Amino acid sequence: MKVLYDHQIFSMQEYGGISRYFATLNDQLNNFSDTKSSISILHSKNHYLKEPNKFWHGMLGNTFLNKQSRNYKWNKWFSRYTIRQNKFDILHPTYYHPYFLKVLKKPFVITVHDMIHELYPEFFDKNDIFTAYKRIVIPRADHIIAVSNSTKNDLQGLFNIPDEKITVIHHGFISPIIDTSASTLPIVLNEKYILFVGGRSAYKNFNRFILAIAPLMVNSNINL
């Protein structure tokens, strides 16, 4: 069986949970003798990709595809081209853009990580397009992977997806796929600190975290 992943999340993220999920899936599927997995991408700055396209990751790619908008455009073209070639059995898009639907002739599976955009729209830009994309792509998928029963319930409640079309597969664990053997010397911190892990976007609750931590920062010798 040949599985093809598209470019989307690798054009969008340098680091991140979703790109790590797909990079790990791609690597692990290739350990099975009866499965071949590949990612259709020309150029990416994503740190989880072990074997990027060497030609496009040289001077040419780093010069002409360095801007994210141009990078995304050409990766999208390449993914569409690869899908048109039809040399795979299953497509697994890595995000929700429906660009592939008109050229796809094989089944596709999609992973739904959460329904945050639909449940908490107030935390996102009013022009955010991904909910509209999800409403196009998700119902047309041949099968859907939900990462939790909660996400499955949200899918069914919000998009009315039949139970038999969804499989819940919880995230597993694998040792880091970024090489940490060449780490620098341990950092010695002589001060107390609180480490906020994650992005500062609204739905990550960074603003609420700041409000909650403010009294502690004023009255204690703690750094953020």
The CATH code of the domain that includes 161 is 3.40.50.2000
pTM of the model: 0.81
The answer to whether residue 29 is domain-embedded is yes
Confirm if 213 and 223 have CB atoms less than 8 A apart: no
- Point out the least confidently predicted range of 41-55, 57-71, 129-143, 165-179: 57-71
Tell me, yes or no, whether 113 and 67 share the same domain. yes
Domain count, the chain: 2
List pLDDT tens digits, range 128-182.
899 999 999 999 999 999 999 999 999 999 999 999 999 999 998 776 655 666 5
Scan for tokens 């898009």, then name that residue: 93
Q: Looking at the predicted structure, is the pLDDT value of residue 55 above 50?
A: no
The helix (run of H) or strand (run of E) holding residue 143 is strand 143-146
Tell me, yes or no, whether 163 and 198 share the same domain. no
The answer to whether residue 179 is domain-embedded is no
Tell me, yes or no, whether 11 and 70 share the same domain. yes
The answer to whether residue 182 is domain-embedded is no
Tell me, yes or no, whether 137 and 204 share the same domain. no
Query: Which domain does 84 fall in, by range?
Result: 2-168
Q: Looking at the predicted structure, is the pLDDT value of residue 35 above 80?
A: yes
Could you give the CA distance from residue 57 to residue 70 in angstroms, rounded to a whole number?
14
Confirm if 137 and 98 have CB atoms less than 8 A apart: yes
List pLDDT tens digits, range 200-211.
766 567 888 888
Cβ atoms within 10 Å of 206's Cβ, excluding its own: 14
**pLDDT score at 107:** 98
